[in-house]
Amino acid sequence: MKSFKYIGDAPFIPLRIQGKLETIKELALVDTGAKYVTIRSDLGDVLELPVQRKEELSGFGSKEKFEVDISKALVEVNGFDLEVEVAIVV
Protein backbone atom coordinates (compact mmCIF):
# COMPACT_ATOMS: atom_id res chain seq x y z
CA MET A 1 0.00 0.00 0.00
CA LYS A 2 1.33 3.44 -0.95
CA SER A 3 1.37 6.23 1.57
CA PHE A 4 1.43 9.98 1.16
CA LYS A 5 4.49 12.13 1.74
CA TYR A 6 3.75 14.66 4.46
CA ILE A 7 5.03 18.22 4.48
CA GLY A 8 4.30 19.49 7.94
CA ASP A 9 0.98 17.86 8.74
CA ALA A 10 -0.41 17.89 5.17
CA PRO A 11 -0.30 14.94 2.71
CA PHE A 12 1.21 15.53 -0.75
CA ILE A 13 1.55 13.36 -3.87
CA PRO A 14 3.58 13.79 -7.08
CA LEU A 15 1.33 14.95 -9.91
CA ARG A 16 1.97 15.45 -13.63
CA ILE A 17 -0.37 17.68 -15.65
CA GLN A 18 -0.22 17.60 -19.46
CA GLY A 19 -0.97 20.90 -21.18
CA LYS A 20 -1.16 21.92 -24.81
CA LEU A 21 2.63 21.86 -25.28
CA GLU A 22 4.11 21.62 -21.79
CA THR A 23 3.96 19.11 -18.96
CA ILE A 24 4.29 20.23 -15.35
CA LYS A 25 5.38 18.04 -12.45
CA GLU A 26 4.44 19.33 -8.99
CA LEU A 27 3.73 18.07 -5.52
CA ALA A 28 -0.02 18.33 -4.97
CA LEU A 29 -1.86 18.63 -1.68
CA VAL A 30 -4.27 15.73 -1.20
CA ASP A 31 -7.79 17.08 -0.54
CA THR A 32 -10.30 14.24 -0.59
CA GLY A 33 -13.21 16.69 -0.51
CA ALA A 34 -12.10 18.77 -3.49
CA LYS A 35 -14.31 19.00 -6.56
CA TYR A 36 -11.41 19.90 -8.90
CA VAL A 37 -7.67 19.69 -9.25
CA THR A 38 -6.87 23.34 -8.51
CA ILE A 39 -3.80 25.10 -9.88
CA ARG A 40 -2.32 28.59 -9.75
CA SER A 41 -2.82 30.94 -12.69
CA ASP A 42 0.90 30.92 -13.59
CA LEU A 43 0.76 27.13 -14.09
CA GLY A 44 -2.42 27.56 -16.15
CA ASP A 45 -0.58 30.05 -18.37
CA VAL A 46 2.29 27.61 -18.98
CA LEU A 47 -0.08 24.70 -19.71
CA GLU A 48 -2.28 26.75 -22.12
CA LEU A 49 -5.36 24.72 -21.21
CA PRO A 50 -8.50 25.73 -23.14
CA VAL A 51 -11.10 27.30 -20.84
CA GLN A 52 -14.44 25.49 -21.00
CA ARG A 53 -16.33 27.70 -18.57
CA LYS A 54 -15.96 30.02 -15.59
CA GLU A 55 -17.17 29.26 -12.07
CA GLU A 56 -17.19 30.83 -8.65
CA LEU A 57 -15.81 28.65 -5.87
CA SER A 58 -15.25 29.08 -2.17
CA GLY A 59 -12.85 27.29 0.08
CA PHE A 60 -9.20 27.45 1.04
CA GLY A 61 -10.22 28.41 4.57
CA SER A 62 -12.55 31.21 3.46
CA LYS A 63 -16.25 31.54 2.72
CA GLU A 64 -15.58 34.29 0.17
CA LYS A 65 -16.12 33.30 -3.46
CA PHE A 66 -13.41 33.58 -6.09
CA GLU A 67 -13.45 33.06 -9.85
CA VAL A 68 -11.78 30.13 -11.60
CA ASP A 69 -11.46 28.98 -15.19
CA ILE A 70 -12.50 25.35 -15.64
CA SER A 71 -10.60 23.22 -18.14
CA LYS A 72 -9.88 19.55 -18.74
CA ALA A 73 -6.40 18.07 -18.57
CA LEU A 74 -4.66 14.73 -18.55
CA VAL A 75 -3.25 14.21 -15.06
CA GLU A 76 -0.95 11.39 -13.95
CA VAL A 77 -1.25 10.38 -10.31
CA ASN A 78 0.59 7.40 -8.89
CA GLY A 79 1.09 5.88 -12.36
CA PHE A 80 -2.54 6.34 -13.43
CA ASP A 81 -3.52 8.71 -16.26
CA LEU A 82 -6.86 10.43 -15.70
CA GLU A 83 -8.69 13.13 -17.61
CA VAL A 84 -9.98 15.50 -14.95
CA GLU A 85 -11.48 18.95 -14.64
CA VAL A 86 -8.95 21.52 -13.52
CA ALA A 87 -9.83 24.79 -11.78
CA ILE A 88 -7.36 27.55 -12.63
CA VAL A 89 -7.44 30.32 -10.03
CA VAL A 90 -7.57 33.64 -11.92
**Domain total for the chain?**
1
* CATH code assigned at 76: 2.40.70.10
Indicate the pTM of the whole model: 0.83
Asked whether 37 and 87 are in contact (CB, 8 A), the reply is yes
pLDDT at 60: 65
pLDDT at 58: 83
What pLDDT score does 86 carry? 96
Over the chain, what is the mean pLDDT?
90
pLDDT value of residue 74? 97
1 has a pLDDT exceeding 60: no
Domain of residue 70 covers 5-89
pLDDT in tens, 38-65: 999 999 999 999 999 999 998 767 778 9
